[in-house]
A = this chain, B = another copy of it.
Amino acid sequence: MTHEQFAKYSFLLDRTARKVKQYAQQQFKSGDFDVTVDQWLVLKNLSENHLLSQTQLAQLVFKDHPTLTRIIDLLCKKGYMERIPNPNDRRSFQLHLTTSGEEKVRALRPQILEIREKAWENLSETDFEEFKRILNTIYMNLGGQEIEEE
């Protein structure tokens, strides 16, 4: 195995990650989902974790604070979530979905699971486990923190 061969994984990784996002976004668009792929990730995590602060949410979705601030701005503007002042700490907010946001998550979840499954055609459950293991190893090699398990 030459060095040149090793260097290719980064290109393939980036290309595939962008293809996956691109494919999902196109499906989102043709289905009139009214949210982007990244906005969905935020909504989904909020539906599973109540009253998070932005810092907590940022760690969950692996986005930096400025990026998350802007995504939240957009989702608030669309009426899917709200920032509630934290009574115990005036620096921070408690994030929560509005009724409209809860409905959106309920409506989209099954459709999105179906979209996500498309990538996995022609692959096995063993592949899935291997893939996760390798991705997480790379993530840790480069300084990533704690892999969430479930």
Q: Which residues of A contact B (CB under 8 A)?
A: 1, 3-24, 41, 62, 112-114, 116-123, 125, 127-128, 130-132, 134-139, 141-144
Contact = CB atoms under 8 A, between A and B. Distances in A.
Nearest to A132: B12
A62 B20 contact: no
A56 B80 CA distance: 42
Given A137-B123, A141-B121, A113 B19 contact: no
A95 B90 CA distance: 55
A13 to B, nearest CB: 5
Given A14-B17, A19-B142, A116-B10, A130 B122 contact: no
Copies in the complex: 2
B13 A16 contact: yes
Nearest to A17: B17
A134 B141 contact: no
B4 A113 contact: yes
Nearest to A61: B11
A134 B127 contact: yes
Given A13-B135, A137-B123, A113 B144 contact: no
Given A1-B128, A6-B128, A12 B137 contact: no
A116 to B, nearest CB: 4
